[in-house]
Amino acid sequence: MWVLSAPEDAIASIELLLASYQLCASWYPQPIVRNSFQARTTANLAQRDVEDLVSKLAKLCIAFEVSVSGLEPCSFLYHDGLGLRRVSLDASGEGVIRFGQLERLMELSQGSNAELKRLLRLASATAWYDLLQPYMTGNSTVELMPRAV
């Protein structure tokens, strides 16, 4: 689980929530947002508990990604502007759109390539990844020194 951006005043609520699942996270400054922090943690939770945790995290309106491995790997993405999204993943971590979904999207697009493209972007959570990607920078303790010329 990766809490991508949480304001300082939300950390106590998040820690309480994580503690209810016997989880603990280490917090680091979020480099792109002032007074915001990020945290990563791993867990071994049942699918039902993962879904419950994700639902409760989403209610806190913080940006996060929860990756689930197992029989049906998936990723839960949350951004305040877009809400919560679940994306099925293949073994290499790529998003999966099943044939039934694709047929439904083709039917909904009514032959419009632009609409099909829009629906595919929604199904693959492209908008979520676009908004969350800038937050996905790890904590770096290395500072580059300016080059002497």
pLDDT for res 143: 45
Stated as kind and residue range, the H or E segment containing 131 is helix 126-132
Provide the total of helices (H) and of strands (E) in the chain, helices listed first. Answer: 5, 6
pLDDT for res 149: 44
Whole-prediction pTM = 0.82
pLDDT for res 142: 41
pLDDT for res 136: 87
Region 80-94 average pLDDT: 90
pLDDT for res 92: 82
pLDDT confidence bin for 137, thresholds 50/70/90: confident
- The pLDDT tens digits for 118-131 are 999 988 899 999 99
Alpha helices (H) in 1-125, listed in sequence order: 11-19, 47-59, 99-109, 113-123
CB 37 within 8 Å of CB 6: yes
Region 92-100 average pLDDT: 87
DSSP conformational letter for 33: S
- The encoded tokens of residue 121 equal 């972007």
Task: Using the predicted structure, report yes or no on whether residue 147 has a pLDDT greater than 70.
Answer: no
Task: Using the predicted structure, report yes or no on whether residue 133 has a pLDDT greater than 60.
Answer: yes
Share of the chain above pLDDT 90, in %: 68
